[in-house]
Amino acid sequence: MTTYSHSRLSTFEKCPLSYKYKYLDKIKPEIPFTGIEAYMGSTVHESIEYLYRRQKKMPNDDIPLILILDKYETVWNENMSEAIQVVKEGMKKEDYFLQGKKILADYYKKHQPFDKEKTLSMEERIDVNIEGFKIMGFVDRLAVSNVTGNLEIHDYKTSGRLPQIGDLQNDRQLSLYQIGARKKYPEYNENNAEIVYHYLRFNEEFRFHKTEEELSAVKNEIVDLIQTIEFSSWENNFKPHVSKLCQWCEFSTLCPAFQNSVNHPV
């Protein structure tokens, strides 16, 4: 049986054909491609993970900002390759490197000395079973509030756009993680678990409590989506969805719909 993940579900929603290329045909792009935005995001994530892992290990030690920034620079340089590409005109890799550095410095200043919660884990795998469908994901950070005792599900975003509050309220990913985390950590105020989105470029955070009704709606939505995916697989019918996102798609060179749109622009 297929195990789904949030990114697998989102890939189908954005473009069924790219879902087929990636998850069913398992095509590896001839020229590997990673957008620099995603690269900067993953390097920032790794640096934040380092920060909290270190704090968990040595809770009484101060963590100097320079240590986090050094980690960021090391990871950035070690993993940099030709596959990491800049798409936006007028931007250079260095610009994104500096953006990431600023993001980390701002986050550090806002949260230092990092004593509002106790971190339970970083990048922990969460498994959820909904009506026989298996879904898994990795939570950026699970923590318990030192003030309320609530379980907290933290997610770090490096998007350059602030979301609409309604989008966050309806967000599927963290609701899913909340369902899984509550089961895994029943000893904490699981009914009041809180979802915390960090929009790092804006140094802003958004907190939500999900009601049982909201969680139940998310479960229904996921079941509907998985059934649609499985029906498409059964019919072998995966329609392309040409959009602005195609320029970041790793399959754009082999996708007939995209190539057609380039050769015959509307």
**Residues binding ligand SF4 (CB under 6 A):** 15, 17-18, 240-242, 245-246, 249, 251-252, 255, 257-258
Q: How far is the CB of 8 from ligand SF4 (least distance, A)?
A: 15
Dist. CA 60–CA 157, nearest whole Å: 28
Q: How far is the CB of 240 from ligand SF4 (least distance, A)?
A: 4
In angstroms, what is the minimal distance from the CB of 32 to ligand SF4? 15
C-alpha dist (Å) from residue 198 to 114, 146, 213: 14, 19, 24
For 193-221, b/e burial (b = at least 16 CB within 10 A) is bbbbbbbbbeeebbebebeeeeeeebbee
CA distance 116 to 12: 38
φ, ψ dihedrals at 142, nearest 5° = -105, 135
**14 versus 111: smaller Cβ distance to ligand SF4:** 14
* CB-nearer residue toward ligand SF4: 146 or 237: 237
- Spatial CA neighbour of 53 closest among 121, 115, 118: 121
Choice between 58 and 245, CB closer to ligand SF4: 245
Q: Tokens 């697998």 belong to which residue?
A: 8
Given CA atoms 36, 37, 43, 44 in this order, what sign does their dihedral have?
Answer: positive
Nearest to ligand SF4 of 137, 240 (CB atom): 240
By beta-carbon proximity to ligand SF4, the closer residue of 3 and 247 is: 247
Nearest distance in Å: CB 235, ligand SF4: 18
Minimum distance from residue 260 beta carbon to ligand SF4 (Å): 10
